[in-house]
Each structure stands twice: as C-alpha cells, then as structure tokens.
Chains A and B, each alone.
Chain A
Amino acid sequence: MGLLKFIVRRMFFLVFLIIGVSLIVFIISHTVPSDPVLANLSQRNMDNKEMVEAFRSKWGLDKPLAVQYAIYLGALLKGDLGLSIRTQRPVSMDLAQYFPATMELAVFAMVIAVVFGISFGVIAAIKRNTGVDRLIRGMSVLGASVPSFWLALMVLLLFYVVLGIAPGPGRLGPRFSAPHTVTGLFVLDSLLAGDLATAQDALSHLVLPGLVLAAFTMGLITRTTRSSLLEILSQDYIRTARAKGLAEREVITRHALGNALIPVVTVIGLGFGNLLGGMVLVETIFAWPGIGRYAYQAASNLDFPAIIGVSILIAINYVIINLVVDILYGVLDPRVRYE
C-alpha cells in the first residue's frame, strides 16, 4: 500500500476516534448523578429556580442527550469545542493557552530521554556483562520504577528548597514575565524577542520537571537500544566487518547503530504517549500551566466539554505521533510496508 493511502486511512481512523472519544465522555457525563454545571452558580442563585432554568437552557442541558450530542458534533465540525464549565472560557482558547506549555516540556523531556537513553544503551551494549552494563541496566529499571509524582516532590525538596540550586515550580521565575506569544514556547519566544535572560530562566525551569518526566522513557530507550544493538552485533555482516579489521568504534557507528535504532523509534513514539499521561501528575506538582493539569482539573470537576476537548487533543497527538513513527520506520527500514 502506498504511503498516501496509508495516511488517508489513518486520518479516517482519526475521525472515528474523535467521534468515539466524544461519545464515550458524553455518555459518562449523563450517567453522573450530580450536575456539575450548576456548581458554577453561586449558592444564592442555586436556590433560585428561575436562575437555574435559565442556566440550564444556556448550556443546552434541557435537551435530550442525543440532541445535545448532535449539537456538539455540529459545533465540533466548525472547530468549536464549546465552553468550559469551570473556566467559563471557550475550551479551544484554554487548550491553545495550555498546550504549548506541555509541548515545550514534553519536547525537552524527550530530548533528554533520547540523547541519554541511546548513549547509555550503546555504552551498556559495548561493555556488556561488565559492571558498567549492570549499573546502567539497574539505573534504567530504577527510572522505569520510580513514581513520577514522588520523584517530582523529592527533587523539588532537594534541589529547590534544601540546596537552592534549581528554580521553583512554574514556567518562569516570579520576577520574569511571559514573552510575547509567537509559538507559546517560552524559551523560543523569548529568544525570538532577543530576551536572553528570560530564555535562560525559562530553560532552567524546564530542567527538574523535564528530568522527572524523562526518567521513565529514558529507561525504556536505554534497554531497547542495548538489546537491539546486541542483536545486530551478533549478525554475520558485523562479523565480516570485524574480520576486515575495522575498529570496534567504527563497526558500531558505521554499521551497527543505524539498524539498531529502528526499534528505538517505536519506543520513542510510545514514550511520547507515556509522557502525556505522566504530565498529569508532574504538571500538578510543578504548577506547570499545561494540558495535564488542565485535564486533571477538568476531570475532577467533571467539566465535560473540557474533558472531551483535552481527550480529542491528546488522541490527535497520539495518532500523529504514531503516523510519524510509522513513516520514519519505513524510511529507516525499506523492508517495511505500510499496512
């Protein structure tokens, strides 16, 4: 199957996914015994029947479920995700505000995870069955076993409170203000504005949450790199290369590593998905104004328009990341066919 047809198929799946995700949340929203929408009325207005009715009709709650869903889908076609019950702002506006913060952190964490994960994996493979190998493998398992919310608390306590060498929670120090929004990525935006101090401050705020988020994926990448490299190194063409008298370093960098990284690509894709899940906890602790914290607040408030909006956004991301991974896979390994 051609690449184009493959992409079209994935896009169809995306539509199916959006309908499914919104439908699931819609159904949950109507099995809930309580009426969170009304919670936004003041205690006084809650007792006022007329106010309550006016409020219900404003939010379309007086119509049957199927009609409400149809209205929702109609609006969705126009890109309108409705109003958040909690923030009283358009969900799309909320998402546009919070998503860049999450992306900035996710990309940063991913870079850390990929760079260190692959390096450690290669080192472990080269020094297989030595102390170094065991140490790296142990660390990678540790990284995959540490509860992120706890690690987040511990690093904040240690590096911010006790040692005072890392900045505190949030995206910027209190004395800095956000750069003019171009991309919403603070580091990039402040560089674009030529404001080095702010860029540096934004970057330093990425370090702790970035490391915490990266821990899990880094472990995964290390292990995959190591095992995949070991597998390649045992193959005949590598033996041939060695037999030709090539230095081990050259064997690895020129012949083995490229092929060994193919399965790593999948893991990176998977890792991105994990990252967005881990965001909920890490952002909550680091007071990071991103999608994860927004999702947590939306879910615990049963702010259904926001829950659907966030879910759709993350699902779209998931599909796109998978698509990119699949395509990369094909580029890296010509044997792969898109199906």
Chain B
Amino acid sequence: MLRKLMKSDATFTMGFVLFIGWIVIAAVANWIAPYDTLAQNLAIRFQPPTGAHWFGTDSIGRDILSRVLVGSRISLFAGLTTIALASTFGLIYGGIAGYVGGIVDDVMMRVSEMVLAFPGIILAMTIAAALGPSLFNSLLAMVVIWWPNYARVMRSMVIANKNEEYVEASRSLGASHLRVFFIEILPHSLGPMLVLATLDFGNAILLFSGLSYLGLGSPPPTPEWGAMVADGALNFNYWWISTFPGLAILTMAVGANFIGDGLRDLLDPKLRKGM
C-alpha cells in the first residue's frame, strides 16, 4: 500500500521523507548535535550563521542548530502524546455516548459541544497560567481542548455499527455489552479514528509550538521550537534566531499533513473516483 501511494502521489512521498527524516533526527539528535544545547557563550551571542554555527547563535550564545535538532524530540513527543491521549479519551467517551444512547448520549454530546465552543487556546492559556507553565500542563491543556473531535467521530461510528446484523447477532447470542463493544464495534470504528489522528498530528504540533511561543510550554532553557522563535521575536533584526526553528516546525507539520492528505485520499473512495 505504501509503495503504491508513493508511486501515485509525489507529495505523499515528500511528506513521508520529511517526517521519517525528523523521526530519525529526533532519535539520534543527542549524538549529532554539534554543541551542548545549554552551553552558553556570551562572547559569541547573536552571531549570524557561520561555518562553526550553521544556524547562528542566540541571545546567550547557544548554538541554534543543536537546539533545533534536539528540539525535534519535544515536538514529536508533544504531538504524539496529545493525539494518543485525546483520541483514547475521545474513543471511550464517544463510545459510551453512542452505545448507550438516549439521554446519556444527549447530555454527553452537549458537554463535548460546550468544550468545542470554549475557545481552546484561552482555556489552554488559563490552565498554563494557573498551574504554571510546563510541558505537562501544556499537554494537559491540549488534550482537554482536543478530545471532543474524536468523541464525535467515535460516536457516529458506533451508532452506524450498532445496528449492523453481526452486532445484533452477537448480542442475541448473549454476549455482554462490554464484549459486544470491544469485539464487534470497536475494531470497525478504528479506521476513521486513525485517519483523523494522522490528519491532526500536524495541527497538534502547530498548537503546541504556539503555546510554547507564548511562554506556556517547558520553562527555559529547554530547547522548544516555539520558545526559540519567541527569543528571535525579542531580537527582531537577528533574523536567524527565529527563522530556523520556525522552518523546523513548518517542515515537521508539512510532513505530517502531506502524509495525512495522501492517506485520506487513499481511504476515501469517493475521491479516488475523481482522480
């Protein structure tokens, strides 16, 4: 399938290469980073890109290249964790709502809609300001504002599958609700959830870097891309300080989105007809 996709879709291939590239970099970042990400040298602060420092140095003389490389670990981790937790919670929540139905479904869905209507980034900022900025708190905030999408998709999948013949058959054979849910319904609902998760990965990275830009991510001196862009914003005319971490965010998000795009086209039969 992968090979077929790569052949037919150049953008997918590009996304795939970018994304795998970042995963490889994240895996080996600690070995390939030319400098210690925390090592300061005030004598060489604000240096433009040179042979010794390809991406230049920041406001306290740290090597930006090293920080960009190591920063990939945090971004990937944040994206994966948010999506994993939000989709798991959404899956359970939407599953219950869809399976039980009736008034329970009604109330649960109104609550999830309320969270959707709540301006997410404000909630995230409030949580981070109240609990103090940290990686954990910003991830918590992201999960809180992200799960309703998954809950909605899961619920509609469950409702669609609930009345299928095989489910009814299984139930008439005396299977427990839990069994029916996990054995019969869940596997059939996972596909769309997976596509949604892939599509969301890029967005999760963007939101995380945005929070980090606002100073709501890990405290300094952690090399977080968003926070590095913010350091550059303070020192506007030294373009390299914010340019490179920004490009890193962009390429990682592009990679994820190209993959998601390709996957969606592949899995959406209506679209394939049009191609």
Interface residues of A (CB under 8 A from B): 13, 16-17, 20-21, 24-25, 28-29, 31-32, 125, 128-129, 134, 137-138, 141-142, 144-151, 153-154, 157, 161, 223, 227, 230-231, 233-234, 276-277, 280-281, 284-285, 295-296, 299-302, 307, 310-311, 314-315, 318-319
Contact = CB atoms under 8 A, between A and B. Distances in A.
Most buried by A among B117, B118, B271, B274: B117
A281 B114 CA distance: 23
Contact of A153 (B125, B232, B273): B232
Given A129-B275, A302-B130, A154 B246 contact: yes
Q: How large is the interface on B (under 10, 10 to 19, 20 to 34, 35 or more residues)?
A: 35 or more
Interface string B262-275: 00000010110111
Contact of A147 (B129, B236, B250, B270): B250
A46 B2 CA distance: 65
Interface string B110-130: 110110111111110111011
B41 interface: no
Interface of B: 10-11, 110-111, 113-114, 116-123, 125-127, 129-130, 202, 206, 209-210, 213-215, 226, 229, 232-233, 236-237, 239, 242-243, 246, 249-250, 253-254, 256-258, 261, 268, 270-271, 273-275
Contacts of A227: 268, 270-271, 274
A315 B117 contact: yes
B126 A141 contact: no
Contacts of B127: 28
B10 A134 contact: yes
Contact of B122 (A17, A20, A29, A310): A310
Contacts of A281: 210, 213-214
B126 A302 contact: yes
9 contacts: A13-B110, A21-B114, A145-B250, A145-B254, A147-B229, A153-B236, A157-B239, A277-B121, A315-B118
Give 7 closest A-B pairs by Cβ, nearest first: A230-B274, A150-B246, A299-B125, A145-B253, A314-B119, A145-B254, A318-B117
Contacts of B249: 147, 150
A146 B202 CA distance: 10
A13 B215 CA distance: 34
A325 to B, nearest CB: 14
Contact of B271 (A31, A142, A231): A231
Contact of B125 (A150, A151, A223, A296): A296
B194 to A, nearest CB: 19
